[in-house]
Chain A
Amino acid sequence: DAGVIQSPRHEVTEMGQEVTLRCKPISGHNSLFWYRQTMMRGLELLIYFNNNVPIDDSGMPEDRFSAKMPNASFSTLKIQPSEPRDSAVYFCASSPQFGGGEKLFFGSGTQLSVL
């Protein structure tokens, strides 16, 4: 299995631009998570989908952030408009079980830099 696939690996953009991060979960996994990692705040959960439905979006910072999961094999995290404080590594993770539990598999992350 190819694992969780994220694209792009690196994204550099200017403040105010729209940014779209993409994730392909492991086939057969019905839970998908988006995390953000920063030096200041560590690793924090942004949103959790189960069977393509958002279950927990309490970690989404503000309305500039949105996430979708149109089908079981694809999810996007969009930031519009982007701001320098959004600079971080964004991880996608998937799991074959509800809530993730001990079966959480991470992608390699997208390094986002907003100038």
Chain B
Amino acid sequence: EDQVTQSPEALRLQEGESSSLNCSYTVSGLRGLFWYRQDPGKGPEFLFTLYSAGEEKEKERLKATLTKKESFLHITAPKPEDSATYLCAVQKVPAGTALIFGKGTTLSVSS
């Protein structure tokens, strides 16, 4: 059965305290792994798509990496505005199919 598991469920950081969020997956026929940010009451906001093990992508304080079994979202020197729920999702082949989501990690950054 296809499965996406995110950990931790919740994470509290002080401003400037770097950390990582984990997304482990079991899926047959992986095409891509996606990271989204979701603020309360809003739709998910696209962050990254990763396709192959070893791939890395960066955007401001965020960096996503991918292995054959898991992905990490590294947050460097977070700020309070980085507080949100971070969702990981996988897409099976072929392209354009629906995403399978994990339950998310809710990040709180305090100043």
The answer to whether A and B assemble together is: no
